[in-house]
Amino acid sequence: MSILVTGGAGFIGGNFILDWLEAHDEPVVNLDKLTYAGNLQTLASVAERPNYHFVHGDIADRSLLATVLQRYQPRAVVNFAAESHVDRSIHGPADFIQTNVVGTFNLLESVRQYWLAQSAAQQQDFRFLHISTDEIYGSLLPEAPAFREDHPCQPNSPYSASKAASDHLVRAWHHTYGLPVLTTNCSNNYGPYHFPEKLIPLMILQALDKKPLPVYGDGQQIRDWLYVRDHCSALRRVLEAGRIGDTYNVGGWNEQTNLSVVQRICALLDELQPRADGISYSTQITSVKDRPGHDRRYAIDAHKLESELGWVPAETFASGLRKTVQWYLANTQWVQGVTSGNYRLWMEQHYHA
C-alpha cells in the first residue's frame, strides 16, 4: 500500500507529506515538476526514509505517470500539483492553463487507466483526492453568508478559473467514468515552508529586510486563514472517510482584513525581534496599486466537514501566526534557498515595474 502525492515539494504538499509520515508508516511517492515553487529542502528531514520516494516529473506526462502508477501501485492519488499564485496568473496565465487544466486532465486519464486495470475490490477502495481552493466561488459581499459547497462557481482570476476548470474535470470523471474522487476547497493557508511571494511570508521577510510592506489598495480585502497543518489533518480525514464524489469546504472560521494581518505580523516581530532603532515594523506598511480584479472577500462555511467527518482545526489565528513568525525567524537557511534567482526577478518585475 502507498499513496501518490503530486506537487509534494510545494507549500501544502510538503507539509502534507511531513504530516503523513509523522502519522503513518504507509509509503508516500512524491511526483513534482520542481517549478520555482517546488523545493526539496522542505522534505530534507524525510528524504532518506525507506517509505518516501521522489519522482521528478510533470502531471501532464502520461507515459511517466503510467510508469509511476505501475511501479508503486498506489491506493490513492492526492493532487496538489498546480500553479498557485494569483498575481503570477495575471502576468502570465498560460502556465496555469497548462498545469491546472491540461495537467489535471492528463492525470485523471492516467489514473483512470490504472484504476480500470485493478480488481473490483481495489477499484472500490481507490481514491483520487483533488485539492482545490475557495477562490473558485468568487468574491463575497460584506454581509453575505460564507461559501457552502453548493455556492455557485464564479471564478474571477486566471488562477481561480483554471482551478474551477480542474474541479469540473474531476467531477465529470466521477459522474461519467465512475472514478472514486473527492474534492476539497480550502481557504488561505499559512505556516512553515510557505513561498514568500504570498502575503504572510512576504510581509515577514520584507519587514526583517527593512523594506516596504506592500498592501494592495485599501487593505480591507478579507481572507479566511487556516494553519497549513490543520488543512493537512482535514485532508487525511477526507481521504479516510469522505463520501465518494463529494466536495468538502475546509476553513478555520477566521476572517481577517489584509491590513490587520500585516499589523499583527508587525506586532509579533516587534515582540520577537524588535528593530534596532526601537521603531515598530508597522511604519514600513505602504499602500500600493491594487491587484486587477481583486476579490474583496472570501469566507468558508466548514460545517459539512465538521459535522460529517468530525474535523476541527487545532490552531487559532493567534497561535498559528505566532508559530509561523517564529518558524521564519528560526529557518533562515530555508529562506535563503528560496529567495535567490527567480524570486528576486519576480519581486523586481511585480513590485517595481
Residues that bind ligand NAD (CB under 6 A): 6-7, 9-13, 32-35, 37-38, 58-60, 80-84, 99, 103, 131-133, 163, 186, 188-189, 195
297 near ligand DAU, rule: CB under 6 A: no
258 near ligand DAU, rule: CB under 6 A: yes
> What are the grid coordinates assigned to 195, written together?
513561498
Name residues contacting ligand DAU, limited to 84-113 (CB under 6 A): 84-86
* Residue 298's binding partner out of ligand DAU, ligand NAD, none, with CB under 5 to 8 Å set by partner kind: ligand DAU
* Residue 11's binding partner out of ligand NAD, ligand DAU, none, with CB under 5 to 8 Å set by partner kind: ligand NAD
Residue 71 CB coordination number (10 Å):
11
221 near ligand DAU, rule: CB under 6 A: yes
Q: Which residues contact 109 (CB under 8 A, 6 or more apart)?
A: 62
Residue 137 appears among annotated catalytic residues: no
Shortest Cβ distance from residue 35 to ligand NAD (Å)?
4
Please identify which of the residues 32, 58, 83, 135 carries the catalytic annotation: 135
Residue 134 appears among annotated catalytic residues: yes
Residue 159 appears among annotated catalytic residues: yes
In the list 99, 188, 254, 324, the residue contacting ligand DAU (rule: CB under 6 A) is 188
Shortest Cβ distance from residue 176 to ligand DAU (Å)?
26
Shortest Cβ distance from residue 39 to ligand NAD (Å)?
7
- For cell 528560496, the residue is 338
Q: Which residues contact 282 (CB under 8 A, 6 or more apart)?
A: 262, 263, 266, 267, 270
Distances (CA, A) of 207 to 41, 201, 267, 348: 24, 10, 11, 17
Instruction: Name the burial class of residue 81, with classes exposed (0-12), middle (13-18) and buried (19+) by CB atoms within 10 angstroms of its CB.
Output: buried
According to DSSP, residue 300 is labeled: B
Instruction: Name the burial class of residue 281, with classes exposed (0-12), middle (13-18) and buried (19+) by CB atoms within 10 angstroms of its CB.
Output: buried
- Judged by DSSP in three states, 139 sits in coil
Question: Which residues lie near ligand DAU (CB under 6 A)?
Answer: 84-86, 133-135, 187-188, 198-199, 202, 214-216, 221, 223, 258, 291, 298
